[in-house]
Structure 1
């Protein structure tokens, strides 16, 4: 396939970079350290089952759901090497 000046595998490299960035972003959001018994935002007790299931948990289910919805607005589109960014 003719790709112009782009090297062989450039599209796959961009896809791999996007996936790698997404994994790094997800890992950075993982809780770490000792979990809390009460939510750090609303002070509601965190159930024992949640504390065992999510090591380092800091938020109750309601607050975590609200935070997840706020983060969903970020598209995470990787523009490195895309034709749109090169034309601007």
Structure 2
């Protein structure tokens, strides 16, 4: 059901595009290759279970948590379809 100037399915297409963008962003951050035996940051031994579970892992769990905590994220709003972005 479309309303106003939008065509049928436009809302679902926008949702699908947002999901595809998020999946692509996450896939680009996946690690590949051989895992390190020792953490690149603190030189602690990375457990074998972690090395098997996460291919290409370079950090121990503690250092990985610190990196993820400090990582800034986008606002989380898809500005392409936002009415606010169209009004500015």
Coarse TM-score class (shorter-chain normalised): 0.7 to 0.9
- Alignment RMSD: 1.7
Q: Identify unmatched segments of 5+ residues in structure 2.
A: none
The residue number in structure 2 matching 1:17 is 17
Q: Compared with structure 1, are the counterparts of its residues 20 and 71 closer, same or farther at alpha carbon in structure 2 (3 Å cutoff)?
A: farther
Q: Which has the higher contact order (CA 8 A, sep 6+)?
A: 1
CA distance in 1, matches of 2:8, 2:17: 15
Q: Identify unmatched segments of 5+ residues in structure 1.
A: none
Contact map agreement 2:2 2:8 (CA 8 A) in 1: no
After superposing the two structures, state which structure 1 stretch, 69-78 or 42-51, moved more: 69-78
After superposing the two structures, state which structure 1 stretch, 76-85 or 55-64, moved more: 76-85
TM-score of the two chains, using structure 1 as the length reference: 0.85
The residue number in structure 2 matching 1:82 is 82
CA distance in 1, matches of 2:30, 2:40: 16
How many residue pairs are counted as aligned between the two chains? 88
